[in-house]
A and B are shown apart, each in its own frame.
Chain A
């Protein structure tokens, strides 16, 4: 028996598809294990479907590596200020200055600018924060100034602000920023422009050559960010100031229209896909096998009932009924899997039964019976082992069916919103019109992953075929 199984293993790995399938499966399992240990359990609700989490990411940005094809591109930059470069005390006030120099050499403007304040603590009067930018033309423009919110009536010091979640200012769309810029242009060139002309695209003004006032020519060169934090008590503090310069491309796989990092979402899809596929197929195969053996071996009325039931169930078109039930009961992943099992087992039962009927008439079963083996013992010890290789092949073969069914359902808008899957990411892209706008990085990778996952199991099933069905080996 042992020798035989080693032979089978050799047979399995001798085929190309068996090798490819197993290697890919191991890789997928490793990725899934990594995700399970590094991602929070409630990733779907707290991270993926939480727009605030993704506010500082560029929206609909293609992957960074597309730049090698010559696209002009702005790098996404996150600049964190934690220690002041310079501290100056004037009377009882203290001005802490944070600076950062960078070279801007792209010919397109950043996609957005934002500033976030983390953990402000003050003791008497509220501190002030201001952001200026020193441009290559040696002009310093004041972009933003804010007084931290004053103590509420009845509140005692020290006053803590923005400790739960940071205070984020969208500099591109902030009215006070626009008004600062309008003021600067008026003072410098005596030109009057209205706030409405530039609000929403303040970043263009900040990074453009201001000679033309069309804001379409980027001023390249050395820029310096200057953040001044003015406090009235030397114990006042701010833990972090974050400046984000929105890039035009992001990461390995880009972002979607909400700024979500697609590679993060797609990684989460690995364990989910394997979970859906393997759990559903294991339970389906278990029920299908049990029912098939019972039906074929016991015969009589049990057989008739099981056969009628599985005939009817296996004849119901799966997708319409799945859509209907999920629509009525609500999109929940476990429900999808349950329904797939419910309508999936009868097909296997019908096949297993016919195989059991053949085995029944064999002498080995007759011998076991005459030795007084019980009904269950015969089914478990004598019939099941003969079917086991076939059943295992069926389990492998059914796995992609479950993964594909879930993906189809998600694609039709009935995915479980608390658990992001590849199908859902693709559906989001499709519904946003990604196909027509050309967001290929949003559409292709999730579909490709679904195909590869399904293919892994098909390849393994293919390699198993000659092991399970030796008749095919001869040819």
Chain B
């Protein structure tokens, strides 16, 4: 039961984060007049549709204008445009939650829809693919390298990894991406420079999958490089801290093989803090994904951010800010579950 309780508490605190971001967005939008503009645009869009459908039935222009004017007043009242913005807070929060943000100004989805939710949701899977594969590869390499260098402190490998981790912390993902494009796409000509598919995209499923894989190599590799260094170093430090504990010495004194000590006594104990550090690195990889997608023209939500900024499309930006926070909260929750699975103290409290 306490397991469930812990999960609920963690979940609730993440929910608080989500709601804080939502309210922050809404308050900022309201106070700066953005929400008024957003709603006015929605109202006039609905009226335009109404005028089109009515003009076939109502011949008299005066009557038509009257009907539309009535409808306009209804809509203004419905959306609360006749009240100051702070009365509309709950309504706006709900609209963002359901991505009911009307139509984008110039951006379109791949299928041509201009509804904000279509545009954003269509790109969500692409971002998730990129972040998940990069995170998994980073974790695996980081764990392997981190544990390895923890056993050989002071060696050349250990020192070069710590220098590499310093460099990778200082490397902006987007700049590294640009270097990779120049190097691999233009100098060596072995990998595509941008996009998710070749032009024209292959139709056969296997060829399509391989094509996407080839296009994903550079973006994923970029994300891995910028985070793997500091992550290996974090793993190394945590493993080191635990390998100095008494119970590890006892295990060694019992004559257990070094391999067994590492697996059963060190890594098992180091796992929860390692997951914690993965959790802390999550905001960083989200930001990294936004920039990497921009550089590589990867059609995910991050690239959409860049496009929305260039097109000054505020409703898309609001939707993206919410979606990225949601993505973070969900990913974080999954890691919290992992943490609980790994840390028996939480489970058997």
A residues contacting B by CB (< 8 A) are 17, 311-312, 315-321, 323-325, 327-329, 400, 404, 407-408, 411-414, 426, 430, 435-436, 438, 440, 443-444, 447, 450-451, 454-455, 458-459, 462, 475
Contact = CB atoms under 8 A, between A and B. Distances in A.
A311 B325 CA distance: 15
B20 A324 contact: no
Given A17-B166, A320-B320, A320-B324, A436 B309 contact: no
Contact of A455 (B154, B167, B179, B295): B167
Given A408-B291, A447-B178, A316 B325 contact: yes
Given A312-B20, A319-B290, A321-B21, A407 B172 contact: yes
B166 A320 contact: no
A440 B286 contact: no
Given A316-B325, A400-B170, A440-B182, A328 B28 contact: yes
B28 A325 contact: yes
Interface string B151-178: 0011000000011001101111011001
Interface string B277-296: 00000110011001100110
B175 A324 contact: no
Contacts, number: 131
- Counting from the closest, the 8 A-B pairs by CB-CB distance are A319-B287, A454-B170, A447-B175, A320-B324, A324-B321, A455-B170, A458-B166, A315-B17
Contacts of B162: 462
A101 B325 CA distance: 67
9 contacts: A312-B17, A318-B287, A320-B325, A321-B21, A325-B28, A328-B32, A329-B28, A435-B181, A443-B182
B25 A317 contact: no
Nearest to A430: B178
Given A316-B283, A324-B28, 13 more contacts: A315-B332, A317-B287, A319-B286, A320-B305, A321-B24, A324-B317, A329-B28, A407-B172, A412-B306, A430-B178, A435-B193, A436-B193, A454-B171
B144 interface: no
B248 interface: no
B170 A438 contact: no
A408 B292 CA distance: 11
A327 B314 contact: yes
Contacts of B89: none
B25 A324 contact: yes
Nearest to B193: A436
Interface in B174-221: 174-175, 178-179, 181-182, 186, 193
Given A317-B328, A455-B166, A458-B166, A426 B314 contact: no
B39 to A, nearest CB: 16
B332 A435 contact: no
A33 to B, nearest CB: 23
B126 to A, nearest CB: 16
Nearest to B323: A320
Interface of B: 13-14, 16-17, 20-21, 24-25, 28-29, 32, 34, 153-154, 162-163, 166-167, 169-172, 174-175, 178-179, 181-182, 186, 193, 240, 282-283, 286-287, 290-291, 294-295, 305-306, 309-310, 314, 317-318, 320-321, 324-325, 328, 332
Contacts of A328: 28-29, 32, 34, 314
A326 B179 CA distance: 27
B240 A475 contact: yes
Central interface residue in A311, A408, A436, by most chain B CB within 10 Å: A408
Contacts of A323: 290, 305, 309, 317, 321
A327 B29 CA distance: 11
A324 to B, nearest CB: 4
A167 to B, nearest CB: 37
Given A325-B28, A436-B193, A475-B240, A320 B286 contact: yes
B249 to A, nearest CB: 15
Contacts of B166: 17, 455, 458-459, 462
A318 B283 contact: yes
Contacts of B309: 323, 327, 412-414
Contact of A458 (B170, B178, B181, B320): B170
Contacts of A430: 178, 295
Central interface residue in A327, A404, A440, by most chain B CB within 10 Å: A327
A424 B16 CA distance: 35
A413 B169 CA distance: 23
Nearest to A313: B20
A461 to B, nearest CB: 8
A316 B283 CA distance: 8
Contacts of B305: 320, 323, 412
A323 B332 CA distance: 21
A371 B152 CA distance: 49
A4 to B, nearest CB: 25
A438 B187 CA distance: 10
Contacts of B240: 475
A92 to B, nearest CB: 62
A145 to B, nearest CB: 45
A408 B32 contact: no
B17 A411 contact: no
A465 to B, nearest CB: 10
Contact of B169 (A438, A450, A458): A458
A411 B174 contact: yes
A92 B14 CA distance: 90
A317 B283 contact: yes
A475 B179 CA distance: 37
Contact of B172 (A408, A458, A459): A408
Contacts of A435: 178, 181-182, 193
A455 B153 CA distance: 23
B321 A321 contact: yes
Contacts of A318: 283, 287
Contacts of A408: 172, 174, 287, 291
Contacts of A451: 167, 170-172, 175
Nearest to A447: B175
A413 B291 CA distance: 11
B32 A329 contact: yes
Central interface residue in B240, B306, B321, by most chain A CB within 10 Å: B321
A188 B205 CA distance: 68
Contacts of A327: 309, 314, 317
Contacts of A443: 178, 182
Given A411-B291, A458-B170, A462-B162, A317 B325 contact: yes
Contacts of A400: 169-170
A312 B290 contact: no
A430 B153 CA distance: 41
A216 B306 CA distance: 43
B172 A404 contact: yes
Given A317-B325, A435-B178, A412 B169 contact: no
Contacts of B21: 316, 321
A17 B321 CA distance: 38
